């Protein structure tokens, strides 16, 4: 039990596990450079360089811009996540040269003697050599929620965690040889994983890709048939195909997610999975664990109130109570918060109190105890669990109603029988112990924010319902005075449980299994559930919730399964967390409307020109100019702009209701403008200039509709785009570069008039589709 020597540790195999909190720099480069979009645009760009003019190949710069912006943003997110992942890693307690010390997880070596206490996560495999009531939860490996008692000689696996007692084990497999190393890596992995938002965008892109092939072939055929100049035909066809591809949509989505990670990282909030950003916005029920969330870490011992024999024996009785409390508090080498509060007043183990057997505290039992031989067997825990009526029970209920945390100190005739839960154990209350909990100073303001945002709060605690109710009432939580004792809730009827959760806000005496059931019941009613917690008893619920939020001071196991970790334990960070998620989703929807409006007007234009056998109404350089001013530049700012809009389900239908009518009407207006100009005596460039004016004005109006509500910054953005386009029309060398010839006043005024009418039609069409969708919605 002396552990390895320093010399032995230096020569042993280390627990080296590559950190997977982010992709490697090489993987980031490959993911942003070798994409389907870059391949398609690269081929089209090569065709323009071979058969057209280089000015029409400006759209090829989007390959460089997409890759550089994507690489830079993901690299920033990688650095943030790697830095926060190091902060989030809990040290490991080992014994070397006979001395206990804390070391970094990667410094653990094969053969190390690793010490365990409640809440510690096992990072390597091993064999137990010492157990003092050690219980291991292996649910993350086996799916079984019940903790397993471990005795010397038993095997323990990485990925599990201690829930009660203490002990030690010798590391038998470390690094990549450990059983659950893949689970340990996945806990803080950076990845652009599955989400409703990304799935919707992926579906858009998939269908557009299938449309590009036949429409592109039709467009190429029609342009070749209508033009004696092969280069002009290829240029027109490429203009239509390039415009159909929403090349920046995936980039903007990735940037918005990555920037969200960086922004939250600055607030000491570690987002361990990027899809959690989306989950933040969709949350409508927040389950709070009182201890460590509404209340600050740690407690203070307030009063010790003898009862019965403890009171009747005078000074000797009080001395026995004090000694029993001191003995129980100093029994565990890794005391929990309750024992630490008692230790402040009783810092040393009293003489003559040697334990012959002990039962460590667990959230399922809600008490701990020990047999001290001739001194008797003593229990310390929840009064409503240990007591069944009597003076102690009544006084405990009265004290708990004031908001104090109350424990019962009891004698028992048989510790083993009490552990088995035998009803005839003979538990006698000797004293009540009150502890003062520290309310977080930011709790009231934070709860008010969620109330204003329409997020329902459920306080779920293992404490006495009256105590939980008193704190909830003091914080102004609705219906906080009506606390429900979770022991009265239905165990095997999810519908009734969901009804109780809908009708009530505060719940006490909730077991770890029930917390998990609560999450499932709320989800069954269509809620998106976030769960906060810091203790081992919260792990299963955090794992099942749509969004698990752990406190930085919580147990390593809790932080390992949560998607979000508040590293500085600031409850006030949660509004920023939810706000960041809502900002990302609302802005990505705006950006999607912009890009897909472009896609649909390009599809409509390509079909019309292909079927009617017309020349394509603009060149690639025209598309580059208009798309940059009405989509590319605005999308970048809109994707990162602040917003307080709530996330709503139905992302794909809403985008289609906007983009399809807007895109079709933009195409119709542009085609009409081109046809009106082409029927006169003007040149092809003049005709295309008229069409480009119509296209810019209609898509500029779409940008205004999308940017609503119009803040001063958004008005400035929209106005700046109009000024830039006016500059492109009026500055000679810019006009020449983009092949713009606004010389025919009649055609240009006609183009403006058509754009005004089309803009009004777009506004009306979108309004009608939105109202129609509202009437059809059940």
Residues tagged active-site: 289
Token pair in block for residue 301: 């011992």
* Pairwise CA distance, residues 94 & 97, whole Å: 10
Is the four-CA dihedral 413, 419, 424, 429 of positive or negative sign?
Answer: positive
Whether the Cβ atoms of residue 594 and residue 253 lie closer than 8 Å to each other: no
Partnered with residue 166 across adjacent β-strands are 117, 132
* Pairwise CA distance, residues 192 & 66, whole Å: 16
* Pairwise CA distance, residues 204 & 500, whole Å: 41
- Alpha carbon of 398 to those of 302, 390, 434: distances in Å? 15, 13, 12
H/E segment holding residue 498 = helix 494-503
Q: 645: Cβ–Cβ under 8 A, 6 or more apart, which residues?
A: 582, 586
Give the number of other CB atoms < 10 A from CB of residue 106: 16
**Quick check: helix, strand or coil at residue 354?**
coil
Token pair in block for residue 106: 């990667």
C-alpha of 717 from chain center: 31
Query: Which ranges in 115-195 belong to alpha helices (H)?
Result: 139-142, 181-186
* Pairwise CA distance, residues 667 & 761, whole Å: 12
Partnered with residue 135 across adjacent β-strands are 149, 164
* Pairwise CA distance, residues 166 & 171, whole Å: 16
Q: In what order do the strands lie in the sheet with 367-371?
A: 295-306, 428-439, 405-412, 377-381, 367-371, 357-359
* Pairwise CA distance, residues 182 & 659, whole Å: 42
Give the number of other CB atoms < 10 A from CB of residue 727: 11
Whether the Cβ atoms of residue 459 and residue 506 lie closer than 8 Å to each other: yes
Whether the Cβ atoms of residue 717 and residue 634 lie closer than 8 Å to each other: yes
Give the number of other CB atoms < 10 A from CB of residue 300: 12
Please report where in the chains the tokens 């195409």 appear, as a residue: 667
* Pairwise CA distance, residues 294 & 475, whole Å: 9
C-alpha of 222 from chain center: 49
For residue 741, give the DSSP letter: -
């Amino acid at each position: 039990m002396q552990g390895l020597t320093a010399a032995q540790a230096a020569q042993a195999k280390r627990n080296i596990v590559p950190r997977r909190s982010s992709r490697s720099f090489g993987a980031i480069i490959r993911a942003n450079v070798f994409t389907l979009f870059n391949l398609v645009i690269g081929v089209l760009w090569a065709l323009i360089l071979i058969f057209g003019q280089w000015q029409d190949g400006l759209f090829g710069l989007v390959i460089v811009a997409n890759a550089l912006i994507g690489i830079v943003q993901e690299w920033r997110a990688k650095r943030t996540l790697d830095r926060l992942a190091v902060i989030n890693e809990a040290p490991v307690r080992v014994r070397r040269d006979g001395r206990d010390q804390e070391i970094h997880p990667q410094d653990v070596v094969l053969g190390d003697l690793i010490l365990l206490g409640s809440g510690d996560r096992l990072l390597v495999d091993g064999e137990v050599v010492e157990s003092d009531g050690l219980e291991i939860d292996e649910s993350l490996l086996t799916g079984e929620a019940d903790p397993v008692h471990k005795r010397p000689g038993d095997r323990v696996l990485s990925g599990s965690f201690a829930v009660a007692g203490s002990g030690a084990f010798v590391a038998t497999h470390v690094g990549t040889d450990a059983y659950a190393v893949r689970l340990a890596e996945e806990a803080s992995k950076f990845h652009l994983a599955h989400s409703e938002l990304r799935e919707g965008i992926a579906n858009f892109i998939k269908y557009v890709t299938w449309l590009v092939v036949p429409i592109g072939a039709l467009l190429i055929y029609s342009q070749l048939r209508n033009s004696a100049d092969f280069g002009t035909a290829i240029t027109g066809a490429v203009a239509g195909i390039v415009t159909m591809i929403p090349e920046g949509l995936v980039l903007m989505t990735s940037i918005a997610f990555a920037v969200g990670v960086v922004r939250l990282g600055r607030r000491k909030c570690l987002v361990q999975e990027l899809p959690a950003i989306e989950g933040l916005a969709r949350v409508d029920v927040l389950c709070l664990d009182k201890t460590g969330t509404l209340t600050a870490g740690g407690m203070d011992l307030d009063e010790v109130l003898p009862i019965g024999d403890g009171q009747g024996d005078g000074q000797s009785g009080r001395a026995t109570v004090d000694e029993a409390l001191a003995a129980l508090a100093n029994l565990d080498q890794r005391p929990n918060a309750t024992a630490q509060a008692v230790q402040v007043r009783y810092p040393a183990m009293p003489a003559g109190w040697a334990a012959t057997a002990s039962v460590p505290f667990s959230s399922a039992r809600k008490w701990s105890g020990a047999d001290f031989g001739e001194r008797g067997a003593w229990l310390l825990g929840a009064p409503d669990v240990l007591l069944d009526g009597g003076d102690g029970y009544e006084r405990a209920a009265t004290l708990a109603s004031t908001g104090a945390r109350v424990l019962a100190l009891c004698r028992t005739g048989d510790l083993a029988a009490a552990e088995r839960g035998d009803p005839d154990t003979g538990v006698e209350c000797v004293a009540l112990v009150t502890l003062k909990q520290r309310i977080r100073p930011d709790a009231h303001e934070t709860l008010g924010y969620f109330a204003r945002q329409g997020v329902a709060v459920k306080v779920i605690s293992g404490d006495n319902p009256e105590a939980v109710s008193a704190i909830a009432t003091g914080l102004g939580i609705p219906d906080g005075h009506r606390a429900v004792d979770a022991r009265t809730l239905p165990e095997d009827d999810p519908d009734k449980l969901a009804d109780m959760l809908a009708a009530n806000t505060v719940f006490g005496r909730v077991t770890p299994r029930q917390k998990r059931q609560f999450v499932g019941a709320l989800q069954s009613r269509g809620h998106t559930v976030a769960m906060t917690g810091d203790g081992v008893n919260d792990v299963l619920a955090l794992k099942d919730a749509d969004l698990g939020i752990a406190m930085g001071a919580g147990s390593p196991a809790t932080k390992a399964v949560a998607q979000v970790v508040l590293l500085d334990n600031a409850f006030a960070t949660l509004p920023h967390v939810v706000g960041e998620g809502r900002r990302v989703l609302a802005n990505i929807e705006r950006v999607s409307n912009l890009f897909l409006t472009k896609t649909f007007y390009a599809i409509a234009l390509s079909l019309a020109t292909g079927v009617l056998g017309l020349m394509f109404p603009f060149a690639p350089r025209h598309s580059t100019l208009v798309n940059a001013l009405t989509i590319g530049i605005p999308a970048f700012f809109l994707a990162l702009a602040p917003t307080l809009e709530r996330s709503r389900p139905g992302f794909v239908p809403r985008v289609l209701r906007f983009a399809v009518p807007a895109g079709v009407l933009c195409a119709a207006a542009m085609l009409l403008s081109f046809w009106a100009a082409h029927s006169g005596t003007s040149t092809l460039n003049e005709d295309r200039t008229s069409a480009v004016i119509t296209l810019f004005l209609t898509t500029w109006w779409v940008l205004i509709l999308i940017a609503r509500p119009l803040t001063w910054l958004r008005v400035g953005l929209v106005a700046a785009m109009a000024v830039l386009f006016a500059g492109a029309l009026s500055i000679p060398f810019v006009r020449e570069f983009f092949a713009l010839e606004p010389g025919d006043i009649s055609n240009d005024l006609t183009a403006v008039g058509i754009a005004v009418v089309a803009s009004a039609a777009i506004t009306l069409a979108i309004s009608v589709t939105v109202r129609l969708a509202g009437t059809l919605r059940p």
